[in-house]
Amino acid sequence: MRTALRASISTAVLAGALLAPIAGTAYAATTTAPATTAVAGTVTDRYAGTSVLIDTGVIAVLRNKSEGPEVWIRAVSDSWKPGDDYAGRVLTALDGTHLKASVGGLELELVGSNSPRPSLSVAKGGTTKSYPLPQAATAPVDCVSKVKQVDLGAGLLVDLTMSPKGPKAHVHSADPSSTWSRTLTRTDPKGSEGYFSRINNPSGAKPVFAWKSQGRENVPSGFANFPTLPKGCTPEYRVTEETPAPKPEPSATKPVPATNVVSARTTGQTTVVPQGSVAAGAEIASEDTDNSVTLAAGAGLLSVVAVLGATFLRRRRSHS
């Protein structure tokens, strides 16, 4: 009897010794195993979201972050109320690739997954309720405009951009192997003298890039408007329109009257004759007068010579 009892005790002790590590391991697993979900504010944010009760013992955790819109359906206690932990068992999940599911008589649908404001639709017994997901965080607006490239000729290009700091023109060679470049900005709007370029109205609402090719005097200047600022962006400086250059005032000096002389042009030379010396009917000739007028003036001079010659002959005869 005692032998049998001792054998039973030994067997029980041995069994306990063998089973103790297994039991300890199982307990450790149930107490230290990480939860598959996050309790808001206590663990990772990967599964954190807005929790709503959609049925007795069933909640939906609504998310709309970098992973896109998500809905995690979890089992909770029947006494669960908003604000309690939601680390319960996952029943199903909805996202952009899994839009519908059925759980315990609930028909679930993620509506508008590609819209700015998606929502969860829950239908049960002919009644449908909608639960909006949180609004996704908006990405920061890039306030630098798209690049506007303009061909300036002579193997040069310019990249025009607009930002809150103002207009910027990056002039560079069209040859990709060239490293030459020149950048014009709102505070440094003038380019090189050899290849004229400038930002007109640099602090104004509509700046303009102006240029002219080197060594091409007969080619008019070119003009290109800068791109506009992206929507929602504003300048960091005071917008001031450039004052146009003042027009020159008319001269107060009266024009000097022309000299009271006439020009008689003969072949190969021009002779200036006092106006009173020209015989009646003689034409006044200028540098732009045609040959007929010049001949008429010459005829007038010959008439004067003839009159003087006749007078001289009469006086000589009278003295003979």
Cross-strand bridge partners of residue 69: 64
Mean pLDDT of 208-237: 84
What is the C-alpha to C-alpha distance for residues 240 and 193, in angstroms, rounded to an integer? Answer: 26
When comparing pLDDT for 137 and 165, which is higher? 165
Residue 7 has pLDDT above 80, yes or no: no
In which residue are the tokens 């319960």 written?
88
**CA geometry: angle at 192 spanning 191 and 197, to 5°?**
45
Residue 178 near residue 171, CB atoms below 8 Å: no
Residue 8 has pLDDT above 70, yes or no: no
**CA geometry: angle at 209 spanning 208 and 211, to 5°?**
140
- Percent of the chain topping pLDDT 70: 58
What is the C-alpha to C-alpha distance for residues 128 and 106, in angstroms, rounded to an integer? Answer: 10
139: confidence class by pLDDT, cuts 50, 70, 90: low
24-50 confidence digits (pLDDT tens):
333 233 333 333 444 443 435 778 889
73-116 confidence digits (pLDDT tens):
999 999 998 888 877 789 999 999 999 999 989 999 999 988 88
201-215 confidence digits (pLDDT tens):
999 999 999 998 665
11: confidence class by pLDDT, cuts 50, 70, 90: very low
CB contact burial 34-71 (16+ within 10 A = b; e otherwise): eeebbebeeeeeebbbebbbbeeebbbbbbbeeeebbb
Tell me the pLDDT of the chain averaged across its residues.
Answer: 73
Residue 68 has pLDDT above 80, yes or no: yes
**277 backbone dihedrals φ, ψ, rounded to 5°:** -85, -5
Residue 130 has pLDDT above 70, yes or no: yes
